[in-house]
Amino acid sequence: MASSTQHGQNILTAVDAGILRVEINRPEKKNALTGAMYQALTEAIELANDRAEIRVILLHGQPDVFTSGNDLKDFLQEPALDDDHVAYGFVRAISRAVKPIVAAVNGACVGVGATLLLHCDLVYAGQSATFALPFVNLGLCPEAGSSLLLPFVAGRARAAELLLLGEPFSAARAEACGMVSAVLPDGDVLAHAQAQARKLASKPPAAMRASKALLRAGIASGVEEAIRTESHEFQRRLQSPEAKEAFAAFLAKRPPDFSRFT
């Protein structure tokens, strides 16, 4: 039987045929993630961990945007300055998720939107999806374990380009870097991800959970450590004049000026 919940409308969830569908739904702000949205995403993952009838999580955004990452206004007004902040809670939850996660990515996929994919199991992207890891450009640093996971999946040289230059990159590049399982015509992504989720949901659940865990076990403790180390640096960076200039520039729709910083 299907059931659905609306978390303040910005995160929509529905359970049907063993699949917990989680939709990011804040199109007017390009699906930027607020504290309440991180909390709702964390609760969705915990629900899947706890409920036997949920076999798979299917995560997606809107046809033109997956998510533009953390809400930059929140970074200024309610920065995540300790490990108990809901944003870090979400990162810990997705990195420890028990059930497989299938992601369907259309449109922009920025910041934590892209790094969360490194914790998903199957990732399908539309051919015109665009990715970016603009942490340095924002005066920040890599998060969500990406300083370890991206070199692991993409190789150090490619990870350094993506994380240090922070330039947008295509779905084809994301696939070449090991962040995406397959690139599909834009209009086919969600249906394909749903079909793959149905396949996963039909398989023996204990074998699935064990196999997902084994695929991550080799670097799981390193990922936990990376998430902790990164978050402490991220907290320092969030309070830096560089970051404040970057966020203010974005919100004022002007280019940032880092020339006065040493």
Q: Binding residues for ligand COA, per CB under 6 A?
A: 29-30, 32, 68-73, 108, 110-111, 134-135, 138
State the Cα–Cα distance between residues 30 and 170, nearest whole angstrom. Answer: 18
- Residue 85: C-alpha distances to residues 42, 65, 179, 235 (Å): 12, 25, 26, 10
Rounded distance between C-alpha atoms, residue 34 and residue 255, angstroms: 24
- Please identify, using beta-carbon distances, which residue of 34 and 95 lies nearer to ligand COA: 34
In angstroms, what is the minimal distance from the CB of 167 to ligand COA?
Answer: 12
CA distance to 56, 134, 152, 173, per residue, from 105 (Å): 17, 18, 21, 14
Sequence-separated (6 or more) residues with CB below 8 Å from residue 211? none
For the chain, how far is it from start to end, CA to CA, in angstroms?
A: 59
Q: How far is the CB of 29 from ligand COA (least distance, A)?
A: 4
Q: Which residue, 177 or 246, is less far from ligand COA as judged by CB?
A: 246
Residues 41 and 5 sit within 8 Å (Cβ to Cβ)? no
Measured from the CB atom, the residue of 56 and 171 that comes closer to ligand COA is: 171
Two tokens at 17? 């045929």
Would strands 19-24 and 11-16 be described as parallel, antiparallel, or unpaired?
Answer: antiparallel
Stated length of the chain: 262
CB of 190 vs ligand COA, minimal distance in Å: 19
Least distance from C-beta 141 to ligand COA, angstroms? 10
Nearer to ligand COA, 124 or 131 (CB): 131
Q: Tell the smallest beta-carbon distance from residue 216 to ligand COA (Å).
A: 24
User: How far apart are the C-alpha atoms of 206 and 195, rounded to whole Å?
Assistant: 20
Closer residue to ligand COA, CB minimum distance, 126 or 134: 134
**Smallest gap, in angstroms, from Cβ of residue 191 to ligand COA?**
24
Between 103 and 163, name the residue whose CB sits nearer to ligand COA: 163
